[in-house]
Structure 1
């Protein structure tokens, strides 16, 4: 990726999937604040319309396309909307995801397949659609993974498995593009605990309520800064939050010491690019349709980044 050149954010058009909630919503608002045009994708048309009206009310440039990222035809329609509205796009952010709590044997295979359709196949469909457009003009593909793609924890097995698949698919796409000499930067974002409503929107097979990320949970704008940094600067992997980086490191070095019971737990990799934004770390070596909220229930336990 060292030869890839990316535009300043203010000159970009950016496609964002999962744009109406959590990290996707924070990224949308931050991107438009910094002058980018955006094309938003999510399943909830009402939420998309309200968000677009909010952005236009502040003078931002925005269009939206209703899409379920599990369907490659609908993902292609998002790319087509970007071409129609803005003549194309410069960065594509794969953020849409699904989440289920429960032991592996308690989560139905139907639910596990749906989680993979959104969380893994949605990234594959988005990356393929973006690459077809960017292979000539160049640009960035940013996949939102998770530190749980580096290691599994109890009651989140299907999600961890899907994010592990996202990590490996992202690496494979990057190698393919580099092998072809394509001018496409491919970045994997690895958030640790983020204070979003993602978990409250999740399906729960445990029979309990009130699940939330353990503190410290970072403000979603910290993740948004990392994502938009990757839209401007070629970089391989970015961890969001020191706690997330330590989770991955602990899983690699002492897999049974740092994980919740019953199990008490990829070595970090380097990548080119400028220094990451505050709150993010470059390695040293949902079944919800979106509800228009970017914060979760962490309250005083949530860690805020700069606005």
Structure 2
């Protein structure tokens, strides 16, 4: 298959679902700053209107549609409006998600189905709708998955399962697109724990006032950078967060019983807090709540850098720096050994 040709950001029209909060909000603002025309999709019309006005007020271009990604016809109508408004689109980002904390046997099946309808079926709906346009014009589909699509953790079971499903769907879709010679770049973004209103918006079925993600939590701007990179560079997947992401996945593969013990021992305490956070944002599983926040009210500490991401975005320069540091370390070690022998 011919490598898909993607336009520079400033020449693109980009559709973002879940664009009024967290990763989607941060990404929308970053893309607008780089000149992209944005079409925002979310349930919260007040937030959509305010964000569009904010972007236009800074010289950008934005429009929106109110839609629940769980509803295929709603999302199809949003796509039609984007095409009517801008004449088409170049990239479609599936970011909308739903969140629940609680034991699998204590979260109702109705709530689990709702989470899947948003987090998995929303991605399926968005991808298939986008593909109808992009298989003719070319462009990118970017699905926001998670490292929890590689390793499941307790108390977030439905979310983990949905992200495993997103990974499987994305890989299958990519291979079918290639088999059909469709000029579509398909990227899976896999963030570790990110400091977003994820925890504020989650339905809480734990025995605590608030919920949180196991530390460390990374800055949403890192995920936005990864997404922006995928808008212009065909790339299979990108993982954000080494300490909280890649290390967990590797640990789970090499020593799964150790990971079982660690999560059994520390899982509950690492995901609960007696801080209530912002009640206006709490629990948007079925209805939208207050939006336009890029960080959680429950995460006091945030990592602003991810070496793992830098390696993926800049493999040549990063490898050279790492090689130089390794050479320095070897040289220092060798000098110390020689001095030790002389003594």
What's the TM-score once normalised by structure 1's chain length?
0.89
Query: Counterpart of 2:302?
Result: 302
Question: Residue 247 of structure 2 corresponds to which residue in structure 1?
Answer: 246
How far 1:263 sits from its partner (Å)?
A: 7.7
Secondary structure of the structure 2 residue equivalent to 1:152: coil
Matches of 1:221 and 1:289, distance apart in 2: 23
Shift of 1:215: 2.5
Q: What is residue 126 of structure 1 aligned with on the other side?
A: 126
- 1:300 positional shift: 4.7
Partner of 2:257: 256
Q: Name segments (4+ residues, structure 1) moved above 3 Å.
A: 297-300
SS at match of 2:211: coil
Q: Going by fraction, where is helix more abundant, 1 or 2?
A: 2
Q: Give CA-to-partner distance per residue, 1:185-232, whole Å, 9 cap, x none.
A: 100000001000111110011231222123221111100000111111
Q: Provide the secondary structure at the position in 2 that maps to 1:141.
A: strand
Number of aligned residue pairs: 286
Farther off after superposition, 76-85 or 27-36: 76-85
Gaps of 5+ in 2: 268-283, 307-343
TM-score, with structure 2 as normaliser: 0.80
Residue in 2 that maps onto 1:25: 25
Aligned in 2, Cα 1:166/1:299: closer, same or farther, shift over 3 Å? closer
| CA distance 1:258–1:298, change in 2 (3 Å) | farther
1:51-200 aligned within 5 A: 51-200=51-200
SS of match in other structure, 1:19: coil
CA RMSD in angstroms, aligned pairs only = 1.8
Structure scoring higher RCO (CA < 8 A, sep ≥ 6) equals 1
* Residue 256 (structure 1) shift: 2.8
2:2·2:183 contact (CA, 8 Å) conserved in 1?
Answer: no
Contact in 2 for aligned 1:15/1:40 (Cα 8 Å): yes
Query: In 2, are the aligned partners of 1:150 and 1:251 still within 8 Å (CA)?
Result: no
* Structure (1 or 2) with the larger CA radius of gyration: 2
Q: Distance in 1 between matches of 2:207 and 2:66?
A: 32
Deviation at 1:305, TM superposition (A): 4.5
